[in-house]
């Protein structure tokens, strides 16, 4: 056994299929991974005795290349783990398809501003002695077929628990961030004499998925093939579903504390899984990570200590308005310069700029604003607007890829009228540039499919005004006309999906034309007030410091 320094004092293990800690480590695909990274960072700031467990994703979540038509090509983003982490001399094995697969771990240490450290273990099967196939298990995030995914989940769940043991950790809470790591429950059952009550005491489960089809499921054929026709299979049927293995169900059945990631998401989850009791802890973002340099400087001057106590942002009005505006103008210049250099669109510094960046997939409706081009033109006549887009489509998300191409078609169609840029290769760095550099952050997913959403919280941290449908976190963050604007009706209205979309489009165009454009161009003081409110009433609350305080007091202790 290799004893890892301080291991026995780290009580909480945080498991996540993806963790996004820094831009140079492409081990995340989107919101789930960024949230996990922000969780690690806030835990370090707060000095929590936590250790992260994830997979190495050696081939990196991909580099996106777009041709003139917006057709996406994916390239592996090779990176060298040794540049950022240390390979530990520990090894464990997991049984897959009747043979042992060796698992090793890379140690990444996240050092916080408060000089605390949280270790993160990146599990890796590229070990000498493993077959060529097995060496690739930890290569590709969400790559491969169902069998590949289940192998990854065996390594994460079972291998993760064994690795923690091997390193001398004495874990008292296992936090599963989404169902990908639920197999850890099987390992814990074995070592606790199959006592479900004991295991439930040890486990915390957070679900992120508000739709049935979004849950991770495996046919029992695949499960039997990889895990074997033994007592484990019976256990998995008992706790994870008779007809197929549902990883969410498995997590739910083996955890005493279960939560959704926003109040609305809790309601949806309770409807989806009747009989289970959910709590809700609304997501946050790591404030320091998601504030651009210009605003960091400002907060440092007027609100010292804000980074480790984001509640201080509630005092944003101690900063003079003109300094808020200047910091925003600088952040906007950085983005516009970048967009002009990348796309040659000739965007202006003074034009109202709307940003949209996230995973490209159907439910996020990235082309919604183009639904009625004549109304969009009319909006633009009321006061010029320019639009900046970014986002990757998952390699197998055909519709997501088509949506990128559609944006390129609209760029062509509106040429000479509205300046539109699509920035390639959305990642953490570009994300920060965008959430700090636009004036309005647009988010219009189809309800109720956004469990929480976090990019709008990042925007608010930089005084950028949110304009979003009332779903996920925005139901809690939106005070109409004060912290930003809503698109469409509240979720409880009794209307057909078509009617809802009509109201959404009306709001989208009308609020831009009649409320936001006049404020932005003619009543700058009122606009700056919206910016202040975003920081004072959103950023001070929707951060991972508040979120982790909740996890500690409700779930971990």
Contact residues: ligand PLP, CB under 6 A: 30-31, 34, 358, 426-428, 431, 453-455, 458
CB distance 447 to 471 below 8 Å: yes
At closest approach, how far in Å is the CB of 501 from ligand PLP?
20
- Residue identified by tokens 């995914």 is 149
At closest approach, how far in Å is the CB of 477 from ligand PLP?
12
Residue closer to ligand PLP, measured from CB, 23 or 499? 23
At closest approach, how far in Å is the CB of 542 from ligand PLP?
11
Residue closer to ligand PLP, measured from CB, 15 or 426? 426
Q: Which residues of 465-490 are buried (b: 16+ CB within 10 A; e: fewer)?
A: bbbbbbbbbbbbbbeeeebbbbbbbe
At closest approach, how far in Å is the CB of 439 from ligand PLP?
17
Residue closer to ligand PLP, measured from CB, 310 or 431? 431
Residue closer to ligand PLP, measured from CB, 254 or 464? 464
Query: From CA 147, how far away is CA 169, in angstroms rounded?
Result: 30
At closest approach, how far in Å is the CB of 69 from ligand PLP?
24
Q: What is 472-536 written as a DSSP string? A: TTHHHH--BTTTEEEES--TT----HHHHHHHHHHHHHHIIIIIIHHHHHH-HHHHHHHHHHIII
Residue closer to ligand PLP, measured from CB, 105 or 141? 141
- The residue among 457, 557, 549 whose CA lies nearest residue 45 is 549
Residue 231 tokens read as 């007592």
At closest approach, how far in Å is the CB of 196 from ligand PLP?
35
Coil, strand or helix: which one is 424? Answer: coil
What is the separation of C-alpha 167 from the centre of its chain, rounded to a whole number of angstroms? 29
What is the separation of C-alpha 379 from the centre of its chain, rounded to a whole number of angstroms? 32
At closest approach, how far in Å is the CB of 357 from ligand PLP?
7
At closest approach, how far in Å is the CB of 455 from ligand PLP?
3
At closest approach, how far in Å is the CB of 453 from ligand PLP?
4
- The residue among 535, 210, 500, 287 whose CA lies nearest residue 486 is 500
Coil, strand or helix: which one is 309? Answer: coil
How many CA within 13 A on the CB side of residue 534?
28
Residue 73 tokens read as 């090509």
At closest approach, how far in Å is the CB of 457 from ligand PLP?
8
The strand pair at 244-246 and 217-219 is best described as antiparallel
Residue 422 tokens read as 């699509």
Neighbour order of strands in the sheet with 203-206: 86-96, 99-111, 117-124, 50-55, 12-16, 173-177, 203-206, 257-260, 279-280
Residue closer to ligand PLP, measured from CB, 94 or 357? 357
Residue closer to ligand PLP, measured from CB, 253 or 466? 466
- From residue 92, alpha-carbon distances to 68, 125, 155, 298, 312 in Å are 48, 10, 10, 48, 45
Classify residue 68 as exposed, middle or buried by CB count within 10 Å of its CB (0-12, 13-18, 19+).
exposed
Residue closer to ligand PLP, measured from CB, 34 or 262? 34
Residue closer to ligand PLP, measured from CB, 110 or 458? 458
At closest approach, how far in Å is the CB of 497 from ligand PLP?
21
At closest approach, how far in Å is the CB of 364 from ligand PLP?
7
Residue 442 tokens read as 């647009």
Residue closer to ligand PLP, measured from CB, 26 or 70? 26
Residue closer to ligand PLP, measured from CB, 220 or 447? 447
Residue closer to ligand PLP, measured from CB, 222 or 428? 428
The strand ranges marked E within 112-163 are 117-124
At closest approach, how far in Å is the CB of 445 from ligand PLP?
8
CB distance 400 to 360 below 8 Å: yes
Residue closer to ligand PLP, measured from CB, 260 or 453? 453
- Residue identified by tokens 């060298």 is 80
Q: How many residues does the chain have?
A: 557
């Amino acid at each position: 056994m290799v004893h890892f320094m301080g291991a026995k004092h780290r009580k909480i293990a945080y498991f996540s299929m993806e963790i996004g800690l820094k831009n140079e480590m492409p081990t995340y695909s989107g919101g789930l991974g960024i949230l996990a990274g922000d969780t690690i960072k806030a835990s370090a700031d707060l000095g929590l005795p936590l250790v992260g467990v994830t997979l190495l994703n050696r081939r990196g979540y991909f580099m996106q290349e777009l041709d003139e038509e917006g057709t996406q090509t994916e390239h592996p983003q090779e990176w060298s783990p040794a540049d950022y982490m240390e390979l530990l001399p520990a090894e464990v094995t997991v049984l897959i398809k009747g043979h042992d697969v060796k698992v090793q771990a890379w140690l990444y240490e996240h050092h916080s501003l408060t000089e605390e450290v949280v270790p993160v273990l990146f599990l890796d099967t590229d070990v000498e002695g493993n077959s060529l196939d097995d060496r690739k298990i930890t290569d590709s995030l969400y790559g491969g077929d169902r069998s590949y995914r289940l192998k990854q989940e065996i390594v994460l769940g079972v291998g993760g628990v064994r690795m923690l043991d091997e390193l001398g950790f004495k874990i008292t809470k296992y936090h599963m961030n989404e169902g990908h790591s639920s197999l850890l429950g099987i390992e814990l059952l074995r070592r606790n004499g199959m006592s479900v009550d004991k295991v439930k005491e040890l486990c915390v489960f957070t679900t992120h998925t508000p739709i049935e089809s979004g849950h991770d499921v495996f046919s029992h054929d695949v499960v039997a093939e990889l895990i074997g026709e033994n007592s484990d299979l019976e256990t998995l049927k008992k706790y994870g579903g008779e007809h197929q293995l549902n990883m969410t169900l498995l997590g739910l059945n083996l955890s005493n504390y279960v939560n959704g990631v926003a109040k609305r998401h809790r309601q949806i989850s309770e409807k989806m899984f009747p009989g289970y009791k959910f709590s809700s802890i609304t997501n946050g973002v790591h404030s320091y990570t998601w504030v651009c340099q210009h605003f960091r400087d400002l907060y440092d001057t007027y609100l010292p200590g804000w980074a480790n106590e984001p509640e201080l942002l509630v005092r944003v009005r101690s900063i003079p308005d003109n300094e808020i505006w200047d910091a925003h103008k600088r952040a906007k210049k950085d983005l516009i310069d970048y967009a002009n250099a990348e796309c040659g669109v000739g965007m202006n510094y003074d034009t109202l700029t709307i940003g949209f960046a996230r995973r490209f997939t159907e439910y996020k409706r990235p082309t919604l604003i183009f639904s009625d081009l004549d109304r969009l033109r009319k909006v633009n006549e009321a006061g010029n607007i320019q639009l900046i887009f970014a986002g990757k489509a998952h390699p197998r998300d055909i519709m997501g890829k088509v949506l990128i191409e559609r944006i390129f078609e609209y760029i062509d169609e509106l040429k000479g009228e509205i300046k539109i840029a699509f920035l390639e290769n959305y990642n953490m760095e570009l994300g920060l540039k965008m959430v700090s550099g636009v004036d309005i952050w647009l988010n219009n997913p189809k309800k109720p499919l956004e469990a929480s959403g976090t990019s709008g919280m990042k925007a608010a941290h930089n005084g950028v005004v949110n304009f979003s449908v009332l779903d996920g976190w925005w139901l809690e963050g939106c005070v109409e006309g004060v912290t930003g604007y809503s698109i469409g009706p509240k979720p409880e209205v009794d209307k057909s999906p078509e009617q809802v979309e009509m109201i959404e489009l009306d709001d989208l165009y009308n609020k831009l034309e009649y409320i936001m454009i006049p404020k932005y161009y003619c009543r700058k003081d009122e606009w700056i007030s919206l910016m202040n409110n975003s920081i004072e009433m959103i950023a001070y609350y929707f951060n991972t410091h508040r979120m982790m305080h909740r996890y500690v007091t409700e779930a971990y202790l």
